[in-house]
Amino acid sequence: DARVTQTPRHKVTEMGQEVTMRCQPILGHNTVFWYRQTMMQGLELLAYFRNRAPLDDSGMPKDRFSAEMPDATLATLKIQPSEPRDSAVYFCASGFGQANIQYFGAGTRLSVL
Amino acid sequence: DQQVKQNSPSLSVQEGRISILNCDYTNSMFDYFLWYKKYPAEGPTFLISISSIKDKNEDGRFTVFLNKSAKHLSLHIVPSQPGDSAVYFCAARDSNDYKLSFGAGTTVTVRA
């Protein structure tokens, strides 16, 4: 059963700490997306990669967020330093080819105190 | 700037009846539309999609209708079942881009 795997599922941290979220896309998928879900904004796109190259990260606060794909099986989203307003659920999704359909992981619930 | 809008945050329907979820979009470049379903503590799962060259797509109990001139799509669930209780997101994309734009979601509750 192919699925997108995200770790950790839950993260509680203190303001100012670094947070790293990881995503393993479905094997063979070459497009990877990072989304954030908040009560106010719904699902907003933070960044996405195509064949490991970043295509668009305009949705991310550049000063504190960074996204990378060290290899085809791992995508990371890092926040440094974290702030309480970063508290949200972060989803990773992957797709293949034109990526018309994106397949989502279960998400990482982040709480920054 | 919300390009995809779901104006009804919630919908309550009796089991066995039809659920109709609505979605409006503003970007005329959108040519592919999707519905996702989300249960609590899970990621969104793909439900059904439609290309702009069609006006209807059906998959079992789920039918999506597209009205391009009105920039409007709807999802019909017939008959509604308790397991359909979830948040439903409408999404759209321009095939020249890989990004999906999502609506804010509609929470459906199916009453027994």
Q: Do B98 and A105 touch (CB under 8 A)?
A: no
DSSP secondary structure string for all residues of A46-82: EEEEETTEEEE-TTS-TTTEEEEEEETTEEEEEESS-
Q: Is the pLDDT of residue A98 over 80?
A: no
- The tens digit of pLDDT for each residue in B91-107 reads 999 988 888 999 999 99
A59: closest CA of chain B, how far (Å): 11
- The tens digit of pLDDT for each residue in A2-49 reads 899 999 999 999 999 999 999 999 999 999 999 999 876 678 999 999
- What are the tokens at B53? 């060259």
Give the integer Cα–Cα distance in Å for A107 and A10: 8
Task: Give mean pLDDT, residues B42-70.
Answer: 97
Residue B8 neighbours by CB under 8 Å, 6+ apart: B21, B22, B106
Q: Do A106 and B41 touch (CB under 8 A)?
A: yes
A113: closest CA of chain B, how far (Å): 21
Residue A39 neighbours by CB under 8 Å, 6+ apart: none
Residue A23 neighbours by CB under 8 Å, 6+ apart: A4, A5, A6, A32, A34, A74, A75, A76, A77, A92, A94, A105
pLDDT of residue A93: 96
Cβ-Cβ pairs closer than 8 A, A with B, add up to 52
